[in-house]
Amino acid sequence: MYATLRLLSAVMLAFLAILPLRADEKKQNGDSKIRVTVLAILATDKNKEVEKELKEIAKEVQKKEPSLTGFKIDRTSTKSMKIGQKEKFPLSEETEVVVILKEEEDHRISITIKPPTVGAISYSCCCGKYFPVVTRYQTKDQSRLIIAVMVKPCTTK
Amino acid sequence: MTERDDDCRHLTWPECIAGYVDCELDAAASSRVEAKLQVDAASREAVEAQRAFAPSNSLLWSRVEPPAPSADEWNRVKASVIAAAVPQYAAWRTSKTRLWRYLLAAIVAVPASVAAAVLLAMSIMHSPNGANSPDAGKEPNAEVFAVLAPHEVEIESVRNSDIPLLVVGESPFQGGVTFVSYTDVKVGPVQPDSDGMVPQVEIGNSTSTPMIYAPLARVP
């Protein structure tokens, strides 16, 4: 009888002890469910090396700036954010981009970004794909700064 | 002397003598027998004869009554009894209290221990360095600094040229860059920059990628 009661007490205590951890874990996941990734891409006219991941965007940028022949990812930054949060992401050299997550609706995230040398841009985008912005910022070696912002995952509402 | 004496009413005289010798007569009967013995030599001889049966036990023929205890003696006895009984009662109560304490401690400690064991087991099972690790069961070396496991550190920002130099942590760049298509994005308001420059919004189409393009200032 006592053994049964002890066993039941142990199971209940174990359950009660684990429950807050699970709830906390769930809460943390809920609070930081959106991961924002920012690529700092440098385009140059000093070489013709294009990283394989950038061939698509290189072709589009070259329509505007044919002199830019070399494309590489200089820096990658990522942070977990929640709706309404504002974060700064470091880019090349001392530059940074400000990202604000506005809202999430129908598998899309509304975002406002403020890249260097460009005014604030608001857009809504699907998740898991990069949206490029060709800035006017030029590094010390005259490379052109291009940023690409991606958010994921989106939840269904 | 008659066979039946009036002083010992329901007894014969020899029985009365025997009762006197054995101190079985009451005080009044004994007084009357002693008065008669003063004047009756035969009765005295009978008494002496009966007492002579066991001369060595003559002390037994006299009435012995224990002296009544005094009030002080009664108080001492009572105090001794209480002193002997109270500690036992207190010890019994203490032992009973201890038993309940032990039982309560067991009721609290056993489930708590089980819960702690379950949590510990779960943390070990979910840890990559847990029971399935090749280092499991080894004594930790106090002289070796602990290094973060890959899942314990998050790299927020890194130059891609430095990614091969990362000792721990996962690179935020996981490879595979997919850009949006014209159906994936809807561009809203675009604010001019501090110098009034408004970037171009390239919506894109089925063959091109949408993007924001800020042209460099033309040198006149």
Question: In which band, very low, low, confident or very high, does the pLDDT at A13 lie, cut at 50, 70 and 90?
Answer: low
Whether the CB of A19 is below 8 Å from some CB of chain B: the reply is no
Question: Which among B177, B204, B212 has CB closest to A121?
Answer: B212
Question: In which band, very low, low, confident or very high, does the pLDDT at B140 lie, cut at 50, 70 and 90?
Answer: low
A125 bridge partner residues = A109, B185
Rounded distance, CA A78 to CA A89, Å?
8
Name the more confident of A92 and A4: A92
CA A69 to chain centre: 26
Give the pLDDT confidence score for residue A97 in this predicted structure: 95
Structure tokens at A130: 């990069």
Chain A, chain B: beta-carbon pairs less than 8 Å apart: 166
Taking 70 as the threshold, does the pLDDT of residue A94 lie above it?
yes
As a whole-number percent, the residues of chain A with pLDDT over 70 amount to: 77
Taking 70 as the threshold, does the pLDDT of residue A32 lie above it?
no
Instruction: Tell me the residues of chain B between 12 and 71 that have a Cβ less than 8 Å away from chain A.
Output: none
CA B64 to chain centre: 58
Q: Which residues contact B136 (CB under 8 A, 6 or more apart)?
A: B129, B130
Q: Which residues contact B203 (CB under 8 A, 6 or more apart)?
A: B182, B187, B210
Average pLDDT over residues B6-14: 73
Give the pLDDT confidence score for residue A26 in this predicted structure: 44
Tens of pLDDT, residue by residue over B171-200, are 888 778 899 988 888 998 899 999 999 999
pTM given for the model: 0.54
For residues A115 and A135, is the Cβ–Cβ distance under 8 A?
A: yes
Give the pLDDT confidence score for residue B176 in this predicted structure: 83
Taking 90 as the threshold, does the pLDDT of residue B10 lie above it?
no
Give the pLDDT confidence score for residue A2 in this predicted structure: 55
What letter would DSSP give residue B55? G
Q: Does the structure's ipTM exceed the value 0.90?
A: no
Give the pLDDT confidence score for residue A37 in this predicted structure: 94
DSSP B99-134: HHHHHHHHHHHHHHHHHHHHHHHHHHHHSTTSTTST
Give B-chain residues touching A113 at CB under 8 angstroms: none
Instruction: Go through B56-76 and write b for each residue having 16 or more CB atoms within 10 A of its CB, e for each that does not.
Output: eeeeeeeeeeeeeeeeeeeee
* Residue A147 backbone phi and psi in degrees, to 5: -115, 155
Give the pLDDT confidence score for residue A145 in this predicted structure: 95
CA proximity to A144, closest of A21, A54, A33: A54
Residue with tokens 């290189």: A58
Taking 50 as the threshold, does the pLDDT of residue B2 lie above it?
no
Mean pLDDT for chain A? 84
Name the more confident of A76 and A155: A76
Rounded distance, CA A127 to CA A55, Å?
21
Rounded distance, CA A128 to CA A151, Å?
6
Give the pLDDT confidence score for residue A78 in this predicted structure: 93
For residues A118 and A98, is the Cβ–Cβ distance under 8 A?
A: no
Mean pLDDT for chain B? 78
Average pLDDT over residues B14-41: 85
- Interface mutation target, options B114, B194, B212, chain A, most CBs of A under 10 Å: B212
Tens of pLDDT, residue by residue over A34-75, are 899 999 999 999 999 999 999 999 999 999 999 999 999 999
Cα A119 to Cα A125, A139, B160, B214, B217: the distances in Å are 18, 19, 27, 10, 15
Whether the CB of A136 is below 8 Å from some CB of chain B: the reply is yes
Tens of pLDDT, residue by residue over B95-131, are 777 788 888 888 888 878 888 888 888 777 766 554 4
Name the more confident of B195 and B52: B195
State the smallest CA–CA distance between residue A70 and chain B in angstroms.
Answer: 16
Rounded distance, CA A111 to CA A85, Å?
10
